Chain A
Amino acid sequence: MCVVFSFLFGLSLMHKKMEFPFPDEVLEHIFSFIQSDKDRNSVSMVCKSWYEIERWCRRKVFVGNCYAVSPRMVSRRFPEFRSIELKGKPHFADFNLVPDGWGGYVFPWIVEMAGAFPWLEEIKLKRMVVTDESLELIAKSFKKVKVLVLSSCEGFSTDGLGAIAASCKNLEELDLVDCEVDDLSGHWLSHFPESYTSLVSLNISCLVSDEVSFSALERLVGRCTNLRTLRLNRAVPLDKVADILRRAPQLVEFGTGTYAAELRPDVYSDLAGAFSSCKELKSLSGFWDVVPDYLPAIYPVCSKLTSLNLSYATIQSPELIKLVSHCPNLQRLLVLDYIEDSGLEALASSCKDLQELRVFPSDPYGVEPNVSLTERGLVAVSSGCPKLMSVLYFCRQMSNEALVTIAKNRPNFTRFRLCIIEPRTADYLTHEPLDVGFGAIVQYCKELQRLSLSGLLTDRVFEYIGKYAKKLEMLSVAFAGDSDLGLHHVLSGCESLRKLEIRDCPFGDKALLANAARLETMRSLWMSSCAVSFGACKLLGQKMPRLNVEVIDERGPPDSRPESCPVDKLYIYRTIAGPRFDMPPFVWTMEDDPSLLLS
């Protein structure tokens, strides 16, 4: 990308100096090689004519915060886009911190696009409220739609999916990731007409109902010969998996349903046979309710596997070790902490290509650890897996020593998310805060883009972060820090920071107000159960017209309490669309100072 960029930079200089600049078509052609949103934005800022050319040829629009801009503004600026990606609620909505009804409705966007963009091909939504009405409108308005990805969305039912299935003849990808779907019945699958054969990717793993129309599913799979990705939901029993695989031996990515059945040799051999006929399989997931004796059925495909999601598989360490030792090409592993330190050590020695590891807690609310998974496991993989870049790790103990070792082992981390389950847990060896450990992470991992902190942390750790984490784009903080200084370090030091989310920290008005201008250079800031007063929120709202300062408080209107009273939750984001009007009763937008709006 740097090469393209310097080329473009040179080009732009020439363009300005030449009497007859390059024809638009040439520039357009050059721009077509630039896909990344960031780069496209930069291109559009070179000069007015480049802005114009670029906006007419931008095909993919990415809106990281659906309230930062209005649907109308997007459609006006980019009259020819084919693909749109929208994100709605703040990330902490994943953990129930954002009350229902907060917002993030996709409907207005669909309405805006329905008229003007009938050729829309891709719709990707994350954390948005999608109603059946929206899905029906999509089905009706976009005959060419190929890709529909709904990630962590809610508000729709299988009726809406049925509408999509019935009308979207060109649909290639239907991907439901962690959505809350009102699963009324499995019959929506039969809404795909018999003539429909374009499916390439289907992910219904989040559908929770027990009913699935197997025959519709099997027929669909059978006639869609281009199917590459199929992620089933838990309702699909194990004995059906063999049938499905036999109809789609070309699958590259497959998610099983429940992986449990009575132990029967015929079922087993059927399954093993079906798996062995899938020569292209690279990714496996699903594995709910695993009966360990059925696991060896996947051994024939393990050597080619690059991605394995066992994060719902409640199998113990010995089985897990056996399994991963069959997968030398694994790049991505999601697993429960049943893998234990011993399993991670085995992983570190078998899977040298590992790039991403996520270890989830099997018993997050338990009193005592139920498994032997500690910092040692993480140290082992950081040492043994030279390509490891992304980690999400839930554990119960950590030490500065381990973190420093990890940081030195693996300076190539780009994502480091550590969750020590008990808030404010100190270094278990020294009883000190984990400031130094996380400090080492940010100091050594110079490419770190995403960081989540946990454990006992003082303002010190934020000092380190502000000083070293220059490429950090997203930071998640909980139960940490001592004072506003902590927040100030982050806001003033982290130059690349776009998203900051904080809960239960003693950060208040001073740091926020002192760094108000910084907030305009970020996508958003979330603070809940902190110490920001209503007065400060009002002030921020008044002084910063390009920010929406939203106070979320279910106790009632914040002005029914003294101004110095801390607000419950605060969400600040930059916007050019002004305050929104679809807020529920417990969200208030701080008003802009009218005189500033005129300037």
Chain B
Amino acid sequence: MSKPIEHDYIGLSEQPLPSMEKSSDTNDKKNGLRLKDTELRLGLPGSDSPEREDHDQNVLSLKSFVPGAKRGFSDALDGGGKWVFSGGSGGGSEGLFSPRGGGKNNGGNDLSGPDSGLGGPVLKDGAAQKPQVVQEKKSQRVAGSIHGNGITAAPAPTAQVVGWPPIRSFRKNTMASHPSKNDDDDNAEANLGSECLYVKVSMDGAPYLRKVDLKISGSYKELSSALEKMFSCFTIGQCGSNGVSSRDGLSESRLIDLLHSSEYVLTYEDKDGDWMLVGDVPWEMFTNSCKRLRIMKSTEAIGLGTLYPESYGEVPKSYLDDSILL
């Protein structure tokens, strides 16, 4: 993403408006449309329709809602709801509301911040085509090159935007599992197009499957928290199909407790069709061999290998420190 994330959209209304830069001709030639005179004054009483802002800072278009804006709307900004212009759920923690602002995608994959992209091991090939790193670099370069008006906003590290570019899953998965024929080197270019890797996740007792993008989660920890968010509504067991939920008032810690309890373990089916416990192998090896995930009741998981004394969220120390994976 080339645009900064609205990390502090809460503070947006406090920032001074930038000097309005009238774009060259377009605004002058209102060509008789004269929408300012038409019926709907969508702007505020006394204000004009928002002018074109400095177009390199598209984020600043929010500032067209001047202070004194219709109360409901600036409240929306102040409320810090999910005002996301990019996929950067890394800003999720800024929201006033549940930090699991991962509503952006169906996987609810929230990144925990700037280092989210560095969860994976760096490829031996110095080109470092690892997706998350790529995305961060992109945001920095593009701000300079494409919008080269000399305004370089400091881009925050961004995550891949969900559903953008708009490419169907079948195509993404097909291209992902296609190693480039032009390369003998296994590593370089092997990830061409593999920037997302959706696997199905089922949970014993849940009415339907979900999908999670393993590439967005850079590590076991992130995968674990993404799954927690995704399946939190099921663990309470009171979600009716008509949408009525009795999970109000449930704190996040209670959910984590449930999932971190010994009630469930996270398992996966590997390329050979065997079911394994998640966490046994280095992250990269796991993403390469994982075909699908299953949150299994512990009682069913006996015989799958060493059950950790604590939850599946705990992994052997060695795999938490990715530097040793080189």
Which residues in A have some Cβ–Cβ distance to B below 8 Å? Answer: 92, 94-101, 152, 178, 180, 206, 208, 234, 260, 288-289, 291, 311-312, 314, 360-367, 394, 419, 421-426, 428, 430-433, 435-436, 452, 456, 458-460, 463, 467, 476, 478-479, 481-485, 488-489, 492, 503-504, 506, 508-511, 514, 529, 531, 533, 535, 552-557, 560-562, 564-566, 568-569, 581-589
Segment of B111-119, B155-163, B259-267, B306-314 in the binding face = B155-163
B61 touches A482 (CB 8 A): yes
B72 touches A431 (CB 8 A): no
Which residues in B have some Cβ–Cβ distance to A below 8 Å? Answer: 1-3, 23-24, 26-27, 33, 35, 40, 42-43, 49-50, 52-53, 55-56, 58, 61-62, 64-65, 70-73, 75-76, 79, 81-86, 97-98, 100-108, 131, 134-135, 137-138, 141-142, 146-149, 160-171, 173-175, 178, 180-181, 192-193, 195, 198, 207-211, 229, 233, 239-243, 245, 247-248
- B148: nearest chain-A partner, CB-CB: A431
A433 touches B169 (CB 8 A): no
B170 touches A582 (CB 8 A): no
Q: CB within 8 A of B104: which of A366, A425, A568, A583?
A: A568
Q: A485-B40, A555-B101, A564-B72 are in contact. List 19 more A-B contacts (CB 8 A).
A: A94-B166, A96-B162, A100-B106, A101-B210, A289-B178, A312-B178, A431-B56, A458-B52, A481-B61, A482-B52, A483-B65, A484-B42, A531-B76, A531-B83, A554-B108, A555-B100, A556-B247, A568-B103, A585-B247
- A532: nearest chain-B partner, CB-CB: B76
B134 touches A424 (CB 8 A): no
- A510: nearest chain-B partner, CB-CB: B42
Tell me which residues across on chain A come within 8 A of B178, comparing CB atoms: 288-289, 312, 314
Tell me which residues across on chain A come within 8 A of B104, comparing CB atoms: 529, 568
B165 touches A561 (CB 8 A): no
**Given A421-B165, A555-B82, A565-B76, are A363 and B198 also a contact pair (CB < 8 Å)?**
no
**Given A96-B105, A100-B106, A431-B148, are A506 and B62 also a contact pair (CB < 8 Å)?**
yes
Complex: how many Å from CA A125 to CA B207?
22
Tell me which residues across on chain A come within 8 A of B3, comparing CB atoms: 423-424
Complex: how many Å from CA A361 to CA B192?
11
Q: CB within 8 A of B2: which of A152, A364, A422, A431?
A: A422
A463 touches B193 (CB 8 A): no
Q: CB within 8 A of B147: which of A366, A367, A431?
A: A431
Tell me which residues across on chain B come within 8 A of A459, comparing CB atoms: 49-50
- Report B245 CB to chain A, min CB distance, Å: 5
15 of the cross-chain contacts (CB-CB < 8 Å) are: A94-B169, A95-B163, A422-B146, A424-B58, A431-B149, A433-B55, A458-B23, A483-B50, A489-B35, A531-B76, A555-B82, A556-B98, A561-B97, A562-B75, A584-B241
B162 touches A561 (CB 8 A): no
Q: CB within 8 A of A508: which of B73, B85, B169?
A: B73
A367 touches B167 (CB 8 A): no
A531 touches B73 (CB 8 A): yes
Tell me which residues across on chain B come within 8 A of A569, comparing CB atoms: 103
Tell me which residues across on chain B come within 8 A of A555, comparing CB atoms: 82, 97-98, 100-103
B170 touches A566 (CB 8 A): no
Tell me which residues across on chain B come within 8 A of A582, comparing CB atoms: 241
Q: CB within 8 A of A99: which of B50, B62, B106, B134?
A: B106
